[in-house]
Structures are given as structure tokens and as C-alpha cells.
């Protein structure tokens, strides 16, 4: 290469770039836009199958829309006009008929149900799918177990169109657990072809392909960029969805998601931060929908095994020292239900979640501290950096307030990737944390967070035989429909938890969604992801 | 020359071995347990152990390392857990996106910074010199995410001139068939001018953001190097011989001043390629930087290792290309054998 030529060509290249006209973008193709839903969120799926290893929450959304379950929930309209799933009413999705016996439940499959490749759905597919869910390990297996679904032998093919689940014990959660995302029905004929020696359940195939009978199928997936769905026109699980095509784009910046919505370029922005939500609501340009997250709460959790918080008086002092109202107004901008300031810690209802009787009362907090006999305390308050939007201001407000009762705290920000391993160690003395359970029953929450099995979510490591008796009692009573002893046990465990405060409830957060005004039919689901099937674009 | 390049390549090998060992060890000492992360909600110790075993993290470190090296030797960078695809696929699909963005940004930056730097040197102390100083200072002191958000706010949200910041193409366009992975080039190759315009309009704001950030080093380096050359004897001689000012400045001074500028360009390019993570985040750009950061957050080892390795190779290749360029620009500089 000659240097003169090189220099000349560089100049030519520079000149040609300089004259490119500024962007004029052609009008979006209006016709296809109308049948297409453009959804924007912070993260996209990392796996299209909830049975996969480490599938993230957005991946659950894909599973929900592309696979059917035997049964699903009815919907109801809430007092604010928003639509929610109805916890107490189930209906068939792939099943036509459900017959609950004493120790088993039998399903009749819909006759014309087909998978996306056209093969009919049979009871063998259901059996294979359930076997898969209890065998693959990890989250799906744990979730099945929560409904006492643990062994392959429980799943019985009666004939091609009839399927039975045998109970290993009476458990109220068994049937609702069949309506969560995990027990979806997979195309076993197709997947068996993709089974390999190392991968006996074809997880590698379903990671990148959808093989169900659901209302949508994934036609293009670029991880971290976009997921495109097409409607499956032969779907029999419910009313034919209006939206023909869903484009789901990952837009990491919250500010840009907001700009896209306000400029009218995106149809739905899902799971907004509370601050954006309250500001956008004031502006009134978009339809803003917000639902309390069922069975979910933010709380301040105290490790009850190690000093100083093994002392109940100190825990109560903290519960009286938290600046509750400031947290609601400054940290979550009023978008949440307070879980404090109730009438008594001896609760009188089984409503869940319900408030404690604690409220900010510094005099009482100081008195309790004096009574506890503890001197000045120096400790750390931890939170998950992945949830810094909410947790950081909460931690700072609590830090400031606790300083007044001689509890000096340093804030420990734990990176998101590390949070679960830190939780599992159970050594953090004090943390701001969030938990919510899919199955919206108080005993389910207590089973994870307060019971003697000391699960990862029982971050305080709270273990008490009396508490376990209440929880087991409530589960047993629910299984046989004994409302009276159920109510006694639920009130019992809530009151005990409120008095001893291993975790100090703060508030029940909301799930926030913004849609354009021509979008309707958004429904809140326990799994906190978007169901495209009911959405209508006018 | 080929022999020289060959010799240079040999010296690269120990560097790469070092990079492989260091990245492997670094990812292993990072806090965060991938098994716990991927076990998801409601994990039990049993399910965490299952996953650790499936991922091979229960094996001793030397064994994991040998397996990793063996995979590398077979061209296998491993699988990304968080996106579920092979790392090599991810990198080949994402590297062009980053490279296209970075190159365009660098080009924009050069178009502004080089003339500005030359003028500032020629008219030292004049208003244009001050302008150069101000532009460079502003460019380098504004954080990229801020510039990016500001540009989005003005040109997209307020004025509506720029398209929505949603990545490389508007949702209603399909990507051109892949030849180079550069949308601008691919769309021209396939003759799809609408896609070209769409891709270009998506590219302008993020490229400008990067360009503004890289103005400073290029403009300052051009100015300094021009000043040194302008003060040298041969320029004085040329002037004294009555050559036209433009000839003196462009033909004689500028060419001689280009060496350090090219070096700076190389540095800025490789720096931008890895460091444009924030721009990629702001514009939802599916580039390699945002991929590596997401992988790091998820304790997803394979992509992080793949990323570092790719960057190391790129850096080495770039340095070699610059060495070759030296010889073309200035015949006095030749690669020593």
C-alpha cells in the first residue's frame, strides 16, 4: 500500500461519511403495528423453559404464554377496575373436566387440543411433563413439592384422554399447585427425539425452542435483545387472543422505557420503579395499573440466633424505631400497602398480609432498649444491590432512625449475584428484604419464612416448635377443610410472629404497569409476569 | 514484512496463555456462587448441589482448568448460562454490533477532532484554540451515560428527530442478511436501502455519544503533535522557501504529526470497544460490553472468560495493525527485523 493512496482514500472515506443525510425515519408500517404488541422491560428471558437450569423471571413469562396447564384460574375485576386472577376459582385450560376425589384428582383432556406442530395432546404428554417437573431438580422440583407432588408414581395415565394425580397426603396446595407455571404440558413426542445421553429431558432443546400447545409460540429469540411471538391459531385453552404478534424488547434504561411510553412508541412497559410510576400517573398521559403483590412483603429481618438480635426486647425496640411513614413516602412514593400501625399484635383476622401494631414511637423504643439491658450496638444492615431502587433508601432511613436508640449501623450493599449465597449463609445480622409466594396462602408464606425447616428464606433462622405446630396445624386443617382450627392456627402463627418480630414487616409492594390508552385486558397474575393472551389493542 | 508479522505473532502466545490463566482464576475468586444464583427462588441446599454438579463446579480447580483449556483448543468457549447459547455464537453476533458502533463513533470523533486540533495548533492562542480546549474538556468530563441520556432526551423525546433508542433496528424492520455483521454494510450489500437508513438513524445518537467522549484525546494529541512539528526546522525551511501555507501545513506538517495521532486512535478504539458498556445500556445496544457486564452480574463465568480473551486478541491484533500503519504513514519508521 502506498502511503499517498492510503491518505487519499482516508480523506475520501471521511468525506463520504460527512455527507450522509440526517436520519429521516419512515412512518412505521401502520397495518402490522395494529396487530403487534410492543412490550418493553428491563430484562428478557435467559431460557424459554421454566424447567431449565437457572431460568430467570422473564423466562417464566415465555413458559406461561407458550405452554398450557391442565387448569388455570378464573379472572375477577377488582374494586379499582383492574383485572386480577381469582385465587379461589379454577377452570380447565387443557382439561375439560376436573374431578377431585378423596385421595386423587382426575382430568379429562380437551378433545381437539394440539401442540404447535399439530400433534394431538394426550395423557401421555401430561404424564411425561409432570415426570419431568419432579425429576429435573432445582426450582421446578421444589415448586412441585410445595404441592406435595414428588414422585412419578403419582401421575397416572388412565387412557389417552384421561389423567389422574394421586395424592401422597391431603394438601390444600396440591390442586392450586397444578395451576402455577411449572406443570405445563410439553410435547413429549417431539422432545423425546431431542433426548440425549446427557440430557434425558431434552432441556437443551426447550431452552431455545417452545414445544407446547399454548396460545403463543416463540418465532425468534435473541437473548438480551428481543423475543418475538406469533399467535397459535389452533389454541383451545381459552378465547382466541386478539394480538397476533408480540415483540418483547429489552430496554435496560428505565428513563428510556419511560420515554418510549410517553412518545407512544411502545405499548406496555412492565414492572416500573415506584418513582416513575407515581410521576407518570400524575402526568396522566398513559393508563397506569398497579396491583398489590399477593403474599408479598418487604421487611427488616433480624438474625435471631446470634447476639444482639437474639434478644426479643431489642427486636421490639427496633420495630418501634423504624420510620415507617417516611419509608412509605420517600422510599416507595406511596406505592405500597403499609404493614404497620394495626390495632393489636394479637390479630383478629386471617387476612394476609396484615399490619402489625408497631408504629414509630421513639420513647417506647428507648424504654425497650433500656429494659433489654443491651448497651450501644454496632452492627451492619444489608440489602440486595439488585433491588437498590427500593432497598437502599429504606436501609438509609432505618440507619438514621436506629442511631437514635444507640444502634449504630454500617450499610452493607451485597451485589445481586451474591445475595442468595449471603442469604444461605444466614450470618447477616440485619437486612432489608422482600419475599413473595406464588400460592397466596398465609401458611405458605410461613412455611418458607418462619418454619423449622429453616429454608433459605427464613433469613432470621427463626426456629420454634410452637410456631411449627401452628403452621403444620393450619396446613392439615386446610387440607380437610376444617375452617375453625385453620383460623385459630393462622391467627396463632401471625400473632406469634408479630410479638417476637424476627422480621419487622414494612409494606406490601405493588406491581406497576404502564400501557397506552388503546391497550386493555391486562391481568395481574400471581407469577407477576405479563399474560399476552387477554390483551387487546384497539 | 510477513516474516516480521509472524515473529510478532510468536511473541503473542505467552501473552495469551497468561490471559487465559488469569481470567480463569479471576472468575473463580469472584464473590458469588453461580450455582446458588441459577438455583433460583425457593432453592434448597439439595437443588443447589444438583446444579453445582451439573455445571461441573464440584470438581477440583485444576480439573476445571484442564477441561476449559481443552474446550478452548477445540474452539469451544463454553456455554453462557444466562442466555443459554454458546459463548462463541454470542460473541460473533455481538462483536460486530459493538465494532460498528465504536468505529462510527471514532470516525465522527476524528472528523471533528483532527481538523479542530490542526487549526488549534496553527492558530495557537486564538479563539479556535480555546474552542478546542473547551470542546475537549467538556467532552471528557461529561460521563457517557449522561451525554447519551441527554441526546435521547433532546433528539428523541423532545424533538422527535431521532428514532426510539431500542437497539440496532426499529422493531418493524428485519435485520439484513449477515455477511459482515455490520448492518450498514450488510444492508448495502443486499441493496436494502430502507434498512440502511433505519440502521444508520439508530446508530447516529449512540455513535455521537461515543464520539463526544473520545474527542478530547484525539484533539489534544493532534494539537500537541502539530505544535511540535510546526516548530521544527523543516517546516521553517519550507516556509522560508516561500511554499504555500496550505502545502506546508497539510503536506509537510500534518503527515509528520500523524504518527502519535494514529497511536492515540488505536488506544482510543480498543478502550472504547470495551468501555462503551454504558452507551450500550442507554441505547439498548446488543453489544459485547453489556453482554460481559450482565454475565459478570450473574456470575456466568464462560462469557466473561470469552470476553476477556476476545478483547486480548483484538488488542494484540490492533497493536500490530498500528505498527504496520506506521510504516505506511512514515517511511522512516520501519519494523525492525
DSSP assignments along A70-113, one per residue = SEEEEEEE-TTS-EEEEEEEEEESSEEEEEE-SSEEEEEE-TT-
The chain B residue lying nearest A246, using CA atoms, is B171
Distance from CA of A429 to the nearest CA of B (A): 19
Q: Name B333's Cβ contacts closer than 8 Å, sequence gap at least 6.
A: B259, B326, B327
User: Which residues 438-457 of A are in CB contact (within 8 Å) with B?
Assistant: 448, 455-457
Element (H, E) at A507: strand A503-515
Specify the pLDDT at position B132.
Answer: 87
Q: Tell me which of A170 and B34 has the higher pLDDT.
A: A170
What average pLDDT does the segment B229-234 reach?
A: 88
Nearest Cα residue in chain B from A458: B42
- Cβ distance A223 to B171 less than 8 Å, yes or no, reads no
ipTM of this complex prediction, to 2 decimal places: 0.74
Residues in chain B within 8 Å Cβ distance of A23 = 161-163, 197, 200-201, 204
What does the pLDDT read at residue A198? Answer: 81
Subunit contact A6:B329, Cβ cutoff 8 A = yes
Which residues have a Cβ under 8 Å from the Cβ of A168 and sit 6 or more positions away? A148, A150, A151, A154
For residue A503, what are the β-bridge partners?
Answer: A301
Of B82, B110, B299, the CB nearest to A46: B82
* Residue B282 contacts A, CB cutoff 8 Å: yes
Contacts with B156 from chain A: Cβ below 8 Å:
259, 263
Contact of A40 with chain B, judged by CB distance below 8 Å, is answered with yes
Mutation target to probe the B interface, by most B beta carbons within 10 A, among A146, A421, A444, A451 is A421
Interface with chain A: mutation pick from B33, B36, B276, highest number of A CBs within 10 Å: B36
Of A33, A225, A457, the CB nearest to B286: A225
- Given CB atoms, is B286 within the 8 Å cutoff of chain A? yes
The distance of B14 to chain A (nearest Cα, Å) reads 31
| Interchain CB distance below 8 Å, A417 and B83 | no
Q: What is the distance between the alpha carbons of residues A236 and A239, in angstroms, rounded to a whole number? A: 8
Query: Which run of H or of E encompasses A329?
Result: none
Residue A512, pLDDT score: 93
Q: Across the strands, what pairs with A297?
A: A435
- Given B34, B286, B297, which is nearest A222 (Cβ)? B286
Option in A54, A226, A420 nearest B81 (CB): A54
Give the whole-angstrom CA distance, residue B18 versus residue B24. Answer: 10
Three-state DSSP class for residue B302: helix
Share of chain B above pLDDT 70, in %: 92
Query: pLDDT by residue for chain A (538 residues), tens digit each?
Result: 454 554 455 444 444 443 333 333 344 445 577 889 999 998 888 889 999 877 888 999 999 999 999 999 999 999 888 999 999 999 999 999 899 998 999 999 998 999 999 999 999 999 999 999 999 887 888 889 888 999 999 999 999 999 999 999 888 889 999 999 999 999 999 999 999 888 889 998 998 899 999 999 999 998 888 899 999 999 999 999 999 999 999 888 888 899 899 988 899 999 998 889 999 999 999 999 999 999 999 999 999 998 889 999 999 999 999 999 999 999 999 899 999 999 999 999 999 899 999 999 999 999 999 998 888 889 999 998 878 889 999 999 999 999 999 999 999 988 776 787 788 788 899 999 999 888 899 999 998 899 888 877 899 999 999 999 999 999 999 988 899 999 999 999 999 999 999 999 999 999 999 999 999 999 999 999 999 999 999 8
Interface of A with B in 8-27 (CB under 8 A): 13-14, 17-18, 20, 22-26
Q: How much is the pLDDT for B40?
A: 61
Assess B54–A contact: CB distance below 8 Å, yes or no.
yes
| Contact B33/A at CB under 8 A | yes
- The answer to whether B44 contacts chain A (CB < 8 Å) is yes
- Chain B residues whose beta carbon lies within 8 Å of the beta carbon of residue A18: 111
B38 contacts chain A (CB < 8 A)? yes
Q: Which residues of B touch A147 (CB under 8 A)?
A: none
- SS3 of residue A441 by DSSP: coil
Instruction: Specify whether the CB–CB gap between A435 and B42 falls below 8 A.
Output: no
Nearest CA in chain A to B43: A139
Q: Nearest residue of B to residue A45 by CA position?
A: B83
In the block, which residue shows the cell 440496532?
Answer: B168
- Side-chain half-sphere exposure of B25, counting CA atoms within 13 A: 6
- A494: distance to nearest CA of chain B, Å? 21
Nearest CB to B156; choose among A46, A226, A259? A259
Of the candidates B39, B111, B286, which has its C-beta nearest A14's C-beta? B111
Are the CB atoms for B216 and B139 separated by under 8 Å?
A: yes
**Lowest-confidence pick of A17-21, B67-71, B194-198:** A17-21
The answer to whether A138 faces chain B, any CB pair under 8 Å, is: yes
Give yes or no for B45 touching A (CB within 8 A): yes
Question: Is the Cβ of B28 closer than 8 Å to some Cβ of chain A?
Answer: no
Neighboring chain B residues of A22 at a CB cutoff of 8 Å: 161, 204
The answer to whether the Cβ–Cβ distance between B36 and A253 falls below 8 Å is: no
Q: How many CA atoms lie within 13 A of B197 on its CB side?
A: 9
How far apart, in whole angstroms, are the C-alpha atoms of residue A464 and residue A462? Answer: 7
Of A486-490, A526-530, B17-21, B274-278, the range with the lowest mean pLDDT is B274-278
pLDDT at position B238 over 70: yes
Own/partner long-range contacts of B224-233 (Cβ < 8 Å, ≥24 apart): B224/B121, B224/B260, B225/B257, B225/B258, B225/B259, B225/B260, B225/B261, B226/B117, B226/B118, B226/B121, B226/B122, B226/B253, B226/B254, B226/B257, B227/B121, B227/B124, B228/B257, B229/B253, B229/B254, B229/B256, B229/B257, B230/B121, B230/B122, B232/B256
CB within 8 Å: B84 and A46 = yes
Minimum Cα–Cα distance from A220: chain B residue:
B174
- Which of B33, B108, B170 comes nearest A421 by C-beta? B33
What per-residue confidence (pLDDT) applies to A519?
A: 93
A vs B, Cβ pairs < 8 A, gives: 194
Amino acid at each position: 500500500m502506498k502511503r499517498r493512496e492510503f491518505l487519499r482514500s482516508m480523506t475520501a472515506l471521511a468525506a463520504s461519511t460527512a455527507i450522509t443525510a440526517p436520519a429521516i425515519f419512515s412512518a412505521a408500517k401502520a397495518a402490522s403495528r395494529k396487530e403487534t404488541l410492543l412490550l418493553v422491560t428491563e430484562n428478557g428471558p435467559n431460557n424459554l423453559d421454566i424447567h431449565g437450569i437457572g431460568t430467570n423471571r422473564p423466562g417464566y413469562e415465555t413458559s406461561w404464554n407458550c405452554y398450557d396447564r391442565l387448569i388455570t384460574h378464573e379472572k375477577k375485576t377488582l374494586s379499582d377496575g383492574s383485572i386480577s386472577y381469582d385465587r379461589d376459582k379454577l377452570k380447565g385450560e387443557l382439561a375439560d373436566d376436573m374431578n377431585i376425589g378423596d385421595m386423587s384428582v382426575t382430568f379429562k383432556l380437551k378433545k381437539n387440543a394440539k401442540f404447535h406442530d399439530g400433534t394431538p395432546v394426550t395423557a401421555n404428554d401430561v404424564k411425561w411433563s409432570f415426570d419431568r417437573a419432579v425429576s429435573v431438580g432445582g426450582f421446578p422440583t421444589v415448586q412441585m413439592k410445595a404441592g406435595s407432588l414428588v414422585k412419578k408414581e403419582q401421575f397416572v395415565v388412565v387412557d389417552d384422554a384421561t389423567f389422574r394425580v394421586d395424592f401422597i397426603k391431603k394438601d390444600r396446595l396440591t390442586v392450586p399447585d397444578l395451576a402455577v407455571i411449572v406443570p405445563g404440558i410439553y410435547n413429549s413426542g417431539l422432545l423425546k427425539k431431542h433426548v440425549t445421553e446427557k440430557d434425558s429431558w431434552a432441556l437443551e432443546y426447550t431452552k431455545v425452542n417452545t414445544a407446547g400447545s399454548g396460545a403463543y409460540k416463540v418465532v425468534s429469540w435473541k437473548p438480551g435483545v428481543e423475543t418475538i411471538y406469533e399467535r397459535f391459531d389452533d389454541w383451545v385453552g381459552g378465547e382466541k387472543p386478539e394480538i397476533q404478534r408480540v415483540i418483547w424488547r429489552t430496554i435496560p434504561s428505565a428513563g428510556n422505557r419511560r420515554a418510549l411510553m410517553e412518545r407512544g412508541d411502545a405499548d406496555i412497559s412492565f414492572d416500573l420503579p415506584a418513582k416513575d410510576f407515581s410521576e407518570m400517573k400524575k402526568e396522566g398521559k398513559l393508563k397506569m395499573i398497579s396491583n398489590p403483590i399477593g403474599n408479598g412483603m418487604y421487611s427488616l429481618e433480624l438474625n435471631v440466633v446470634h447476639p444482639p438480635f437474639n434478644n426479643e426486647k431489642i427486636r421490639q425496640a427496633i420495630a418501634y424505631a423504624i420510620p415507617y411513614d417516611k419509608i412509605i413516602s420517600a422510599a416507595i412514593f406511596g406505592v405500597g400497602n403499609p404493614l404497620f400501625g394495626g390495632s393489636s399484635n394479637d390479630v383478629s383476622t386471617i387476612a394476609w398480609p396484615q399490619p402489625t401494631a408497631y408504629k414509630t414511637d421513639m420513647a417506647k423504643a428507648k424504654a425497650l432498649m433500656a429494659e433489654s439491658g443491651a448497651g450501644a450496638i454496632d452492627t451492619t444492615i444489608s440489602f440486595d444491590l439488585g433491588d437498590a431502587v427500593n432497598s437502599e433508601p429504606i436501609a438509609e432511613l432505618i440507619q438514621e432512625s436506629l442511631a437514635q436508640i444507640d444502634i449504630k449501623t454500617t450499610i452493607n450493599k451485597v451485589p445481586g449475584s451474591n445475595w442468595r449465597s449471603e442469604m444461605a449463609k444466614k450470618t447477616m445480622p440485619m437486612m432489608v428484604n422482600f419475599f413473595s409466594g406464588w400460592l397466596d396462602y398465609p401458611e405458605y408464606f410461613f412455611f418458607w419464612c418462619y418454619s423449622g425447616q429453616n429454608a433459605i428464606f427464613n433469613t432470621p433462622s427463626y426456629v420454634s416448635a410452637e410456631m411449627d405446630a401452628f403452621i403444620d396445624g393450619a396446613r392439615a386443617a386446610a387440607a380437610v377443610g376444617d375452617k375453625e382450627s385453620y383460623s385459630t392456627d393462622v391467627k396463632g402463627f401471625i400473632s406469634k410472629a408479630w410479638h417476637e418480630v424476627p422480621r419487622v414487616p414494612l409494606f406490601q409492594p405493588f406491581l406497576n404497569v404502564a400501557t397506552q390508552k388503546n391497550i386493555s385486558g391486562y391481568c395481574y397474575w400471581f407469577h407477576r409476569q405479563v399474560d399476552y393472551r387477554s390483551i387487546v389493542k384497539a | 514484512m510477513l516474516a516480521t508479522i509472524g515473529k510478532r505473532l510468536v511473541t503473542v502466545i505467552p501473552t495469551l496463555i497468561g490471559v487465559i490463566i488469569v481470567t480463569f482464576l479471576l472468575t473463580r475468586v469472584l464473590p458469588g456462587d453461580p450455582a446458588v444464583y441459577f438455583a433460583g427462588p425457593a432453592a434448597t441446599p439439595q437443588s443447589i448441589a444438583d446444579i453445582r454438579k451439573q455445571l461441573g463446579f464440584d470438581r477440583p480447580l485444576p480439573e476445571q482448568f484442564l477441561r476449559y483449556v481443552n474446550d478452548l483448543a477445540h474452539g469451544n468457549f463454553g456455554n453462557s448460562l444466562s442466555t443459554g447459547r454458546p459463548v462463541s455464537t454470542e460473541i460473533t453476533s455481538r462483536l460486530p454490533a459493538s465494532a460498528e458502533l465504536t468505529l462510527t463513533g471514532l470516525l465522527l470523533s476524528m472528523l471533528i477532532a483532527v481538523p479542530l486540533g490542526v487549526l488549534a495548533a496553527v492558530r495557537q492562542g486564538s479563539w479556535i484554540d480555546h474552542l478546542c480546549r473547551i470542546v475537549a474538556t467538556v467532552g471528557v468530563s461529561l460521563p457517557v451515560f449522561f451525554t447519551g441520556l441527554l441526546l435521547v432526551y433532546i433528539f428523541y423525546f423532545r424533538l422527535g428527530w431521532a428514532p426510539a433508542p431500542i437497539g440496532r433496528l426499529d422493531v418493524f424492520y428485519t435485520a439484513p442478511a449477515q455477511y459482515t455483521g455490520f448492518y450498514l454494510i450488510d444492508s448495502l450489500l443486499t441493496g436494502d436501502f430502507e434498512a440502511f437508513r433505519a440502521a444508520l438513524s439508530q446508530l447516529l445518537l449512540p455513535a455521537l455519544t461515543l464520539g463526544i467522549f473520545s474527542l478530547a484525546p484525539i484533539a489534544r494529541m493532534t494539537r500537541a503533535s502539530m505544535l511540535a512539528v510546526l516548530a521544527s526546522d523543516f517546516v521553517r525551511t519550507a516556509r522560508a522557501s516561500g511554499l504555500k501555507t496550505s502545502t506546508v501545513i497539510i503536506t509537510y506538517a500534518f503527515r509528520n504529526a500523524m504518527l502519535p495521532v494514529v497511536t492515540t486512535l488505536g488506544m482510543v478504539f480498543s478502550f472504547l470497544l470495551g468501555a462503551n458498556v454504558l452507551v450500550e445500556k442507554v441505547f439498548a445496544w446488543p453489544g459485547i460490553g453489556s453482554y460481559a457486564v450482565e454475565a459478570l452480574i450473574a456470575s456466568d463465568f464462560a462469557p466473561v472468560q470469552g470476553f476477556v480473551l476476545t478483547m486480548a486478541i483484538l488488542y494484540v491484533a490492533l497493536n500490530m495493525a498500528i505498527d504496520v500503519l506506521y510504516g505506511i504513514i512514515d517511511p522512516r519508521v520501519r519494523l525492525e527485523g
